[in-house]
Amino acid sequence: MPDQSELDAARTFLDQYAAAVHVIVESVAASVVRVERRGGENRWRMGRARVGHGSGVVIDAAKGYILTSYHVVSGAPEADVQFASGQSVPGKRIAKDPDNDLGLVQIDPASLNLTAASLGDSSALRVGSVVIALGNPDGNRVVATAGIVSATGQSLRGPSGQMMDGLIQTDALFNPGMSGGPLINSRGQVVGLNTASLTEAQGINLAVASATIQKVLPDLTEYGAVRRPRLGISGERERLYEGLASHHQLSQEYGVYVHEVAENSPAAKAGIQSGDILIMVGGEAVTGLDALHRLLLNHKFGDELAIRLIRKLDIMQVTVKLTPME
């Protein structure tokens, strides 16, 4: 049995921890809002993600920008935004990034005393880092769950069908209505955005990392969407014939079979044809559409990529210049 001094020390520690969490939550609470979509249909359901409404966080007080999950505001251009004070204002979805399950809503900042949360550095998180998940599910209160980072660099297939990479896994539970709310660190900085809680796997709660948010935010605010380089093909993963792979001394088992090539796309201009099988892009093997998507995310418009492909029985190489789709 612990003696009285040990019990007192333990209680003091827990009291200090609780007080610290309360102070950190209060420092961000005014930035956490409820977001309710006006109409529309949500076709992406993951775990405890609730259709039609969720949470959000003010990231720019002067412009009235609120960051939330795309699946919260998908399918409708307008939303109602409610603060913990009870005040409710109309908002408009001005940007979307389904590939990362991010949406940007704007409200009129006039006559509103908005407080913006600051974005932190998610790359500084380590397994065991303390984090707090916030949300405003009912519109009149901010809820919080505390936990630790269980893993970083996780993946999940998002609303667009693409793999979302670099996600933060935490045991800080995302309760219903907390989708789109901020995941904050011990400094009260937003290091992630709550995106999914996997009900079939206890304790698996995933957040989009602030590193991803900071990377795409300039495009979201300027263009309303993320301008990602794309080849302009539709295709699928295909196993290479063993004899063909052996003949060409290929170590990979799969490539990307091209079904269609969009007219005037970078792929079309490079001479890629339906029936080709892409095996390498920019010196890296592509073994499926997810691998191709990840590879393209590391490049920007204007980059030129050497692409090796199989056409019938021969290997060819073409050069693709990444340009916006016409």
- 101 catalytic per annotation: yes
Instruction: Give the residue from 198, 222, 246 where a domain finishes.
Output: 222
Establish if 227 belongs to a structural domain.
no
Is the separation of the CB atoms in 142 and 21 below 8 Å? Answer: no
* Range in 177-181, 182-186, 239-243, 284-288 the model is least confident about: 239-243
**187 neighbors 117 (Cβ within 8 angstroms):** no
Note down the domain range covering 317.
233-321
| Angle (CA) 268 274 278, round 5° | 85
Q: Which of 160, 192, 222 is the last residue of a domain?
A: 222
Q: Is residue 326 a part of any domain in this protein?
A: no
- pLDDT score at 247: 79
Choose, from 179, 197, 210, 265, the residue flagged as catalytic. 179
88-138: pLDDT as tens digits: 999 999 999 999 999 999 999 998 999 999 999 999 999 999 999 999 999
User: Do 218 and 272 fall within a single domain?
Assistant: no
**Over the stretch 198-230, which tens digit does the pLDDT of each residue have?**
766 566 899 999 999 999 999 999 999 999 899
Catalytic one of 31, 55, 69, 71: 71
Pick from 180, 196, 222: which residue ends a domain? 222
**Annotated catalytic residue: which of 97, 101, 165, 276?**
101
Active site residue 97: no
**Structural domains of the chain, count:** 2
- The CATH number covering residue 249 comes to 2.30.42.10
The mean pLDDT value for 226-241 works out to 92
pLDDT score at 200? 61
Specify the pLDDT at position 45.
52
Residues present in the chain in total: 326
Q: Give 162's pLDDT tier (boundaries 50, 70, 90).
A: confident
d(CA 175, CA 134): 10
| 275 and 148 housed in the same domain | no
Does one domain contain both 113 and 240?
no
- Distance from CA of residue 143 to its chain's centroid? 22
Mean pLDDT of the chain: 91
Check if 179 is active-site.
Answer: yes
Residues 180, 259, single domain; the answer is no
What CATH number does the domain containing 111 carry?
2.40.10.120
Section 72-97 average pLDDT: 93
Same domain, yes or no: 254 and 274: yes
Are residues 240 and 171 part of one domain? no
Contact by Cβ (8 Å): 25, 146: no
